[in-house]
């Protein structure tokens, strides 16, 4: 583990297997310097255990950066369940996962992510109190995806203002990769402003629904990179900006809700060299964890969430402006700020 390229001095990586329910899960805790680690639980049919391990490491690191950039009193963690979310779900499996979360004694708070929904989290909550994103309870706020999508929409406008001289998206062509929870809500915002949408998703029902209600044009999943778009918005899984896909992009902006969009760290500089403005994913997609943080506090306040979201978009603007001013890749600037905030927390200082 210590030699793995995605290992970043994680505080703990925990492997769980429950033979009776079939649970195979990894909970990675990257940092608790700013508070308990928080991050969603992803259920995915990985080809290998190494892929699941790599995902847990990268996603938990991203959550540390995301929570730091959002100014939240939370560290970074992530859980992955190795399984098919269409066929392998059961009450026993999610209750076993709840016991796994409980065994960490509050070091990690979970919530929904790809392949997991509020109904699943309700089953997890039978076995642990360290869960958010619930539909019921004293501070329950439900699915955080709408807040994530709102933040991504506002972040896209912030990028457009800098790339095109105006944040007006009417008439802009936007290629949206993934129209699930976040991507679907995002398309609603973009269509309402008059953007021309080209969309793709492996879920044909979700794709058809979004096209019907927004007027978007349906594109094959692999053809989305070739759309003559102003903005490319990844909202599915990560590692979509690679040496193979970057030359196909015609967009001037890459901004979306997916985590870990860059296949490798050097793609940040490659985007800059290609003249593409990139919104660091762990900054632009922080709306959902802000919503979760309000729930974890035990006193959910919509006004607090919206206030934090406003600050987050301001922070994204500052990252973009500093990067453009200094000629640096945007991810480089954002990571420097995030790591400084985490280091300050470890030293008992405040940097945000």
Q: What is the pLDDT of residues 78-97, one digit of tens each?
A: 999 999 999 999 999 999 99
CB 331 within 8 A of CB 268: yes
Return the pLDDT at 222: 94
- For residues 261 and 66, what is the distance between their CA atoms, to the nearest angstrom? 14
Coil, strand or helix at 105: coil
Does residue 139 have a pLDDT over 80?
no
Return the pLDDT at 141: 75
Residue 351 lies in a domain: no
Domain hosting 47: range is 12-56+77-124
pLDDT in tens, 232-267: 999 998 899 999 999 999 999 999 999 999 999 999
Predicted confidence band at 300 (pLDDT cuts at 50, 70, 90)?
confident
Does residue 308 have a pLDDT over 80?
yes
pLDDT in tens, 326-338: 999 999 999 999 9
- Residues classed as catalytic: 78
Please give the structure tokens belonging to residue 265.
């760290």
Q: Are residues 266 and 323 in the same domain?
A: yes
Does residue 143 have a pLDDT over 90?
no
Q: What is the CATH number of the domain that holds 200?
A: 3.40.50.720
Q: Are residues 158 and 274 in the same domain?
A: yes
Task: Work out whether the CA dihedral 232, 235, 236, 237 comes out positive or negative.
Answer: positive
Return the pLDDT at 351: 64
Q: Are residues 194 and 324 in the same domain?
A: yes
Predicted confidence band at 298 (pLDDT cuts at 50, 70, 90)?
confident
Residue 329 lies in a domain: yes
A 10 A CB-CB count for 48 gives 9
Q: Are residues 101 and 156 in the same domain?
A: no
- For residues 57 and 200, what is the distance between their CA atoms, to the nearest angstrom? 27
What is the mean predicted confidence (pLDDT) over 153-180? Answer: 98
Return the pLDDT at 310: 97
Residue 90 lies in a domain: yes
Q: Are residues 199 and 329 in the same domain?
A: yes
pLDDT in tens, 172-216: 999 999 998 899 999 999 999 999 999 999 999 999 999 999 999
| Residues 6 or more apart whose Cβ sits within 8 Å of residue 248 | 225, 226
Look up the pTM and report it.
Answer: 0.92
pLDDT in tens, 3-23: 999 999 999 999 999 999 999
Q: Find residue 13's DSSP bridge partners.
A: 28
Output the average pLDDT for the chain: 95
- For residues 249 and 124, what is the distance between their CA atoms, to the nearest angstrom? 40
| Residues 6 or more apart whose Cβ sits within 8 Å of residue 54 | 4, 6
Q: Are residues 157 and 98 in the same domain?
A: no
CA–CA–CA angle 233, 6, 251 (5° rounding): 20
User: How many domains is the chain partitioned into structurally?
Assistant: 2
| Residues 6 or more apart whose Cβ sits within 8 Å of residue 291 | 141, 144, 147, 148, 305
Q: What is the CATH number of the domain that holds 40?
A: 3.40.50.10860
Q: Are residues 81 and 162 in the same domain?
A: no
Q: Report DSSP state, residue 216.
A: P
Return the pLDDT at 224: 98
Question: How do the residues of the chain divide into helix, strand and coil, expressed in percent and rounded to 5?
Answer: 45, 15, 40
What is the mean predicted confidence (pLDDT) over 294-300? Answer: 88
What percent of the chain clears pLDDT 70, i.e. is strictly above it?
A: 99
Q: Are residues 109 and 191 in the same domain?
A: no
CB 155 within 8 A of CB 279: yes
């Amino acid at each position: 583990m210590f030699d793995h390229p995605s290992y970043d001095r994680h505080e703990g990586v925990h492997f769980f297997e429950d033979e009776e329910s079939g649970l195979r899960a990894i909970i990675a805790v990257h940092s608790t310097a700013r508070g308990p680690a928080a991050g969603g639980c992803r259920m995915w049919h990985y080809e290998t255990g190494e892929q699941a391990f790599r995902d847990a490491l990268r996603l938990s690191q991203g959550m540390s950066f995301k929570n730091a950039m959002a100014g939240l009193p939370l560290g970074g963690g992530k859980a992955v369940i190795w399984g098919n979310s269409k066929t392998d779900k059961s009450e026993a499996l999610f209750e076993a996962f709840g016991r796994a979360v409980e065994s960490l004694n509050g070091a990690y708070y979970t919530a929904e992510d790809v392949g997991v929904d509020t109904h699943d989290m309700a089953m997890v909550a039978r076995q642990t109190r360290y869960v958010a994103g619930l539909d019921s309870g004293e501070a329950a706020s439900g699915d955080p995806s709408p807040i994530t999508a709102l933040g991504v929409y506002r972040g896209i406008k912030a990028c457009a203002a800098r790339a095109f001289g105006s944040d007006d998206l009417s008439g802009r062509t936007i290629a949206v990769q993934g129209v699930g929870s976040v991507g679907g809500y995002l398309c609603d915002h973009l269509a309402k402003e008059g953007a021309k949408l080209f969309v793709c998703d492996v879920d044909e029902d979700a794709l058809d629904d979004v096209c019907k209600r927004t007027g978007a044009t349906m594109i094959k999943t692999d053809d989305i990179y070739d759309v003559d778009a102003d903005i490319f918005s990844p909202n599915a899984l990560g590692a979509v900006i690679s040496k193979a896909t970057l030359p196909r992009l015609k967009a001037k902006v890459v901004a979306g809700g997916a985590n870990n969009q860059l296949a490798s760290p050097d793609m940040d500089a490659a985007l800059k060299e290609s003249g593409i403005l990139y919104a660091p994913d762990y900054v632009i997609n922080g709306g959902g964890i802000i919503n979760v943080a309000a729930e974890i506090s035990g006193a959910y306040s919509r006004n607090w969430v919206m206030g934090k979201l406003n600050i987050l978009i301001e922070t994204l603007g500052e990252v973009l402006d500093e990067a453009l001013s200094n000629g640096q890749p945007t991810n480089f600037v954002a990571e420097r700020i995030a790591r400084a905030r985490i280091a300050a927390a470890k030293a008992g200082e405040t940097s945000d």
